[in-house]
Amino acid sequence: MVVKIRYWLLPLICLANLMLPIQAHAKFPVAKLTVTTDSPQIQLGKYLTLYISYQASKPIPVELNKIDTSALDSHFHVEKNADVSLDEEKYQYFWKLRLYPYATGSVTIPKLNFNGHESESWSIEVIDPVDLKTGLPIKVEHKISNTNPWAREQIQFLTTLNTKVDIRQLKIDEMNNSKLTLVQLENLQSKATTQEHNVYKVGWAASAHKNGQIKLNLPPVNLIRDGVTTHLFYPPPIELNVKSLPVYVPTTIPVGKISIANLKKQYYLFQDSLSSMDFTLIGEGLTEASLPDITRQFSNNQRLRFYPKQTSTSINFDKRVARTNTAYRIPIKVLEQGIINIPTIKLIYFDPVSGTLKTSQYEAIRFFSISPGVFYVLSTLLIISFIWLALKFVKYSFRSLHKFVRIKNAINNFRQVKTRNELRQAMRQACYAHGYTQNLTPMQWLSYFKTRFYKNPSLASKLNQLFYQTENGADSIPALAKQLEEYYKQSVPVLRWF
């Protein structure tokens, strides 16, 4: 068979062969890295979805989840789930990330780089969280007490929520770190009302084991409403520059102030009877494990015996450190009568504020011991003495009352005097009121009731004239009685005071 070649088609065939590589190249678009978000605005405590897409220019495998996202760490907590997908026909790779912002305000998502390609930067707005149930806003603040602590010095990482919402449950996830001793302050959350706002504080108390640089990512604070976690508040990453302690500070010396409260200086005990010594050991910036065992300073002897201690610990925290209060109850028994002294109590600690060792001293404790039998005998004698004195006082009171009544009667007699015999009878009544003899001459009567508060030199002559001369002087008797009444009243202190 003979094939006829049409030579005029040869140029067209050559042109088609030249176009084949161009068409094949046109199937693969230009490589490109794109970053977008699901929203330009997000609440603090909610996550923002970051979409990263990469358009490959060649049908080759791409590990998109190895993009360097460290530029996001300064503003976001990044959850890098393995949520990577692929569009095989278009050679497009997709990766979704969850970003939790650390603080409110305008935040810029920086440019990301992958395989020599760079994405565009994005700006988002982080607003205050809003309670889903009430619609009320919540102010959130993260604080650290000190970023340059001493080794073993306690610092606080606190998250504060200020809101009108009545929050019933805040939870912190567990965390472990080999370089730190951590105490969770979740159970110490405080609620303080200020201008109709509730203030809630949760967080951690931590102390570094040794000096050096420590980078720390804290777990989130979970806001739980009706059993459902509505918000996750991530604190920003923390960098600590821990200073080394002076070489003269041994490991047994606590770093933080120690003091004793509610320590009685004197105890009154029965011999051979079990009692207890109670006080509170306070450690500022110290955990219960860091507090010294103060009972080592109490030793048994032939006069005093100590038994194993009983303790209960509570923790509260202020703006700077957590305060551990350990209540001690030490059973004791005094074996002898007398006065027993415990030596001065000394507490040595390293003060992180001044950077020096300090010592707190507490005066010696004194025990007064007495036998129960001796105590009961002395108590009985004391009671009998008290009863005897009470009876004496009652008897004296009745006598004084009767005397006061007689004195008042004598004064009334002076006021009713009209004759010489009535005046003499009133003077006798005054003597009777004080227990004096009633047969007194006028001069003797004035001498018995002598007073420096009432001076009347002519009173004696008037009395002598009335009683021993023949003139009756009836008109002057009431006036004379009035003078005698005043003289008598001034001589009696009780009457002079009233």
Q: What is the mean pLDDT of residues 373-387?
A: 90
On whether residue 295 sits in a domain, the answer given is: yes
Grade residue 2 by pLDDT with cuts at 50, 70 and 90.
very low
Question: Would you say 491 and 446 are in contact if contact means Cβ atoms under 8 Å apart?
Answer: no
pLDDT digits (tens, 9 = 90+) for 233-264: 999 999 999 999 998 888 889 998 898 888 87
On whether residue 187 sits in a domain, the answer given is: yes
On whether residue 193 sits in a domain, the answer given is: yes
In this structure, the answer to whether residues 229 and 269 fall within a common structural domain is no
What whole-number percentage of the chain has pLDDT above 70? Answer: 84
On whether residue 181 sits in a domain, the answer given is: yes
pLDDT digits (tens, 9 = 90+) for 265-305: 777 878 888 888 888 998 888 878 788 888 888 888 888 88
In this structure, the answer to whether residues 156 and 67 fall within a common structural domain is no
pLDDT at res. 21: 46
Residue, of 62 and 329, whose pLDDT is higher: 329
CA angle 55, 57, 63 (to 5 degrees): 60
- The CA–CA distances, whole Å, from 74 to 35, 103, 108, 156 equal 18, 11, 11, 21
In this structure, the answer to whether residues 262 and 358 fall within a common structural domain is yes
Domain C-terminal end among 97, 127, 157: 127
Question: Is residue 3 predicted with pLDDT exceeding 80?
Answer: no
Question: Is residue 409 predicted with pLDDT exceeding 70?
Answer: yes
In this structure, the answer to whether residues 154 and 106 fall within a common structural domain is no
| Total structural domains within the chain | 4
Q: What is the mean pLDDT of residues 372-389?
A: 90
Q: What is the mean pLDDT of residues 187-197?
A: 56
What's the domain range around 50? 32-127
404: part of which helix (H) or strand (E)? helix 372-415
pLDDT at res. 22: 44
Question: Is residue 467 predicted with pLDDT exceeding 50?
Answer: yes
Angle subtended by helix axes 477-491 and 372-415, to nearest 10: 160
In this structure, the answer to whether residues 156 and 95 fall within a common structural domain is no
In this structure, the answer to whether residues 152 and 210 fall within a common structural domain is yes
**Strand, coil or helix: what is 182?**
strand
pLDDT at res. 20: 46
What is the C-alpha to C-alpha distance for residues 219 and 126, in angstroms, rounded to an integer?
A: 20
Output the domain CATH number for residue 81: 2.60.40.10
pLDDT at res. 442: 78
Burial track 66-76 (b if 16+ CB lie within 10 A, e otherwise): ebebeebeebb
How many CB atoms are closer than 10 A to CB 492? 19
Output the domain CATH number for residue 310: 2.60.40
Question: Is residue 400 predicted with pLDDT exceeding 90?
Answer: no
Domain C-terminal end among 127, 156, 180: 127
Poorest-confidence range of 97-101, 115-119, 333-337? 115-119
On whether residue 13 sits in a domain, the answer given is: no
Average pLDDT, the chain: 80
In this structure, the answer to whether residues 303 and 347 fall within a common structural domain is yes
Question: Is residue 487 predicted with pLDDT exceeding 60?
Answer: yes
In this structure, the answer to whether residues 186 and 233 fall within a common structural domain is yes
pLDDT at res. 318: 63
Question: Would you say 120 and 162 are in contact if contact means Cβ atoms under 8 Å apart?
Answer: no
Whole-model pTM over 0.85: no
In this structure, the answer to whether residues 162 and 107 fall within a common structural domain is no
* Residue labelled with tokens 């105490």: 183
Question: Would you say 487 and 411 are in contact if contact means Cβ atoms under 8 Å apart?
Answer: no
In this structure, the answer to whether residues 309 and 338 fall within a common structural domain is yes
pLDDT at res. 387: 93
What whole-number percentage of the chain has pLDDT above 90? Answer: 14
Grade residue 474 by pLDDT with cuts at 50, 70 and 90.
low
On whether residue 382 sits in a domain, the answer given is: no
Domain C-terminal end among 127, 150, 175: 127
Q: Which two tokens stand for residue 339?
A: 């006065």
On whether residue 251 sits in a domain, the answer given is: no
On whether residue 249 sits in a domain, the answer given is: no
In this structure, the answer to whether residues 262 and 364 fall within a common structural domain is yes
In this structure, the answer to whether residues 228 and 161 fall within a common structural domain is yes
